Structure 1
């Protein structure tokens, strides 16, 4: 499956392309209780037209998730997630694997189970940031990446990213130290809507899914722990942005 969306290319540029290029020493040991966070989801859909051409669009409108399985010719092609602290200002950004196959029907985003669950098994990278007024800020020892949030109503159920600003100590790039307006570039907004979906582990399940309880940083590993099962992943390869640095 080839995702020819400039939006995805741009997001991957910041969060996935450089995900394995970490040179800093990870020092934080911490445990996050998932129940302390609300889940916000960005879903990108693809519509296959009669003539065979493709068009990308937001899967969800008016802060309500559409039942994509019931819409002919439309499938979910990408999902990204924010976990935003309910009583605080911490943000956890989660991306999904880029090497998954769309040849299996249904693929990982278009099964019935995905109406209710986000599967930890499908996650690729974990990034820690801070919600500061109208910005979400991610840092590492060489870079500060700021997501500016479009104005929201008091009762708003979404976060729409309006601009990006990257300040880096590394070699300058074309977009470094420049405020990038997503509205001027993309027809599809980067919008995360509040979701009732539950983070779950399916890797070792036998009869039922195991809901995710904690995300633990151990210095060398990320441990996704449920009530019964757990998944251990290399922390060094998956954390580009992190709460503390040495």
Structure 2
């Protein structure tokens, strides 16, 4: 895979770098979207398998950076650990629940759910989970997120609506998203490694995409620091709407 990537001409390599800069910038601003943006744009340059291989390290490292840059990692872990345990359980144990469901149907359903949620958010509708309900729902929400991750490769639903309903500040929310996505990525990577999909050449190719993704994320975080809470909320829900629309159109 690494040799195949290096065999592309300079215009294609420059295009790949630009894709990861843009995808990292989107993630830096709203806290999510790197895999979706990158996969959508890389799909016009290479087969899906190569595009997916490039995503492994950029996704993992940018998620780690995102959670480490927040206001209090230990507090976030202490608050969200039931959600994280549920994500692992759902990712590792949910394969049997997906029998009979096609990948296209799963992505279509996820895209529709995201679009509806984003539309409600843009319409100023919101809900807040109390401390008690936040604790009660954490484990089942995590397990459902793990199952959805298996079906679609996207870590967003229902974890993102759940986290957004906890009433966090924009920086706390972005950190919580990074923590959730990191655990989801690691859990999925263990499953892929166990099935023999991940290999050293795949990781080598993915490492080449890491630097532009980090550059884009640094730019996105710089922009987020200059965006007010209201503008961030608008960017957040517009980003979710774009993600949902992309899933619907490509399902």
Q: TM (normalized to structure 2)?
A: 0.24
- TM-score, normalised to structure 1's length? 0.25
Return the structure number with greater helix share.
2
Using CA pairs under 8 Å that are at least 6 residues apart, name the structure with larger relative contact order, 1 or 2: 2
Which structure features the higher share of strand residues? Answer: 1
